[in-house]
Amino acid sequence: MITSTDTTSGNHNHPLRSWAATTVHHALPVPAEGVARRFGRANVVALLRAASGEDEMKAMTRTVYGSAEVLTFGDVRTPVPADDDVLIRVHAAGVGPEVWHLMTGLPYLVRIMGFGLRKPKNPILGTDVAGVVESVGRNVTQLRPGDDVFGTCDGSLAEYACARADKLAPKPVGLTYEQAAALPTSGCTALQGLRDVGRIEAGQSVLIIGASGGVGTFAIQLAKAFGAEVTGVCRANAIELVRSLGVDHVIDYTREDFTAGPRGYDLILDTAGRRPLRQLRRVLAPRGTLVIVGGEGGGKWTGGFERQILRATLLSVVVPQRLRPLTSTARRDDLVTLSELADAGSLTPVIGKTCALSEAATALSDADEGHGRGKMVVIL
């Protein structure tokens, strides 16, 4: 029988600690496999992790909504995956405006969507993740310990994170963990915005607003892969970056009002989310499609979602142009598509900044500026 003295002894050479520590990182020994089948391998690994003194991890947490000042870097308990989940040892985590919204709880609509009304349900921030599978729940069959993966999870700004197996895919072989962590949310948003909502076709003229950002840099490359003629809108200091991604035309919006001309784009992907619909409709073809990504700007209650969901949807009923909001989600099939494109050389993540986990608060303080270059990544 294992007593509490056995499991909490300060002697790091204790045989149980050595056995448990070895078991955590390798296959379970034969006697423990029967226990694992009965109670779930993830639960057994969690007990072994506690026995070996590895049940705590470093994480960036908060208990209230607010700016980056509410964040604390410290020790928390390592999560245990449920039956359909995977425990990931995090190597890198992507950071973007979506994380900033969950940190601040703004607009308030975000809280109503299930993230916690008065305080955040999950104290650990972060969604995009790339790392190595540490353990799996009893119902997970497509992944196993040691696999390199990327995707989305709950709380990637930590040394370990749990994720649903259907929100993960094998990491692209040709990408680093840092590059892979920049891909899930922004890549899926760009792909679903162009292909699913925008119905992009070869030969169409496509305008991408916010071309140098996390979504925009992927959208440029994907639109070109679909065979479109692409125009990117960005600031002057990002023109060379946008050109390097293969656009056919670049517009510096600080010097030229791209909504003033009669260009007639077949598809506009607006990742900036702040311009009035009437201005964007002026440069949209009579039966063109406007896809609005995100909900930036606006008031504290609905933010830019009022423009994205309410106004655009209602206006679409009475005009021939298609004005569509986009609410994206990371799906395994789409992650696999992005991975294949990356390994084929058609998609390269753009990383604007990197930082250590202990410095993630600094990255999040910049995440809502809206003038970023590519994606910010936290490296563990």
Q: What mean pLDDT is predicted for residues 192-219?
A: 96
Last residue of a domain, one of 54, 69, 99: 54
Q: Are residues 175 and 72 in the same domain?
A: yes
Share of the chain above pLDDT 90, in %: 56
Q: Are residues 265 and 307 in the same domain?
A: yes
Q: Are residues 65 and 141 in the same domain?
A: yes
pLDDT at 307 (0 to 100):
53
Regarding predicted confidence, which is higher, 302 or 344? 344
Q: Are residues 191 and 211 in the same domain?
A: yes
pLDDT at 67 (0 to 100):
82
> Rounded to two decimals, what is the model's pTM?
0.82
Q: What is the mean pLDDT of the chain?
A: 83
Determine the 3-state secondary structure of 151 from DSSP. Answer: strand
Q: Are residues 313 and 239 in the same domain?
A: yes
Q: Are residues 173 and 224 in the same domain?
A: no
Q: Are residues 266 and 308 in the same domain?
A: yes
pLDDT at 131 (0 to 100):
98
Q: Are residues 250 and 311 in the same domain?
A: yes
* H helix runs in 162-228, sequence order: 177-181, 184-191, 214-225
Q: What mean pLDDT is predicted for residues 46-57?
A: 63
Question: By residue range, what is the domain housing residue 12?
Answer: 1-54
Q: What mean pLDDT is predicted for residues 182-193?
A: 96
Q: Are residues 197 and 318 in the same domain?
A: yes
Q: Are residues 267 and 367 in the same domain?
A: no
pLDDT at 65 (0 to 100):
86
pLDDT at 27 (0 to 100):
47
66 vs 104: CA distance, rounded Å: 4
What total of structural domains would you count in the chain? 3
Strands (E), 4-111: 56-61, 72-77, 85-95
pLDDT at 316 (0 to 100):
73
b/e per residue, 277-308, with b = 16+ CB within 10 A? beebbebbbeebbbbbbbbbbbeeebbbbbbb
Q: What mean pLDDT is predicted for residues 90-99?
A: 90
Whether the Cβ atoms of residue 160 and residue 114 lie closer than 8 Å to each other = no
Which residues, in sequence order, are bridge partners of residue 213?
374
User: CA torsion angle for 93, 131, 181, 107 (degrees, to 10)?
Assistant: -40
CA 100 to chain centre: 12
Q: Are residues 166 and 189 in the same domain?
A: no
What CATH number is given to the structural domain containing 371? Answer: 3.90.180.10
288 vs 344: CA distance, rounded Å: 30
Q: Are residues 286 and 304 in the same domain?
A: yes
Regarding predicted confidence, which is higher, 3 or 167? 167
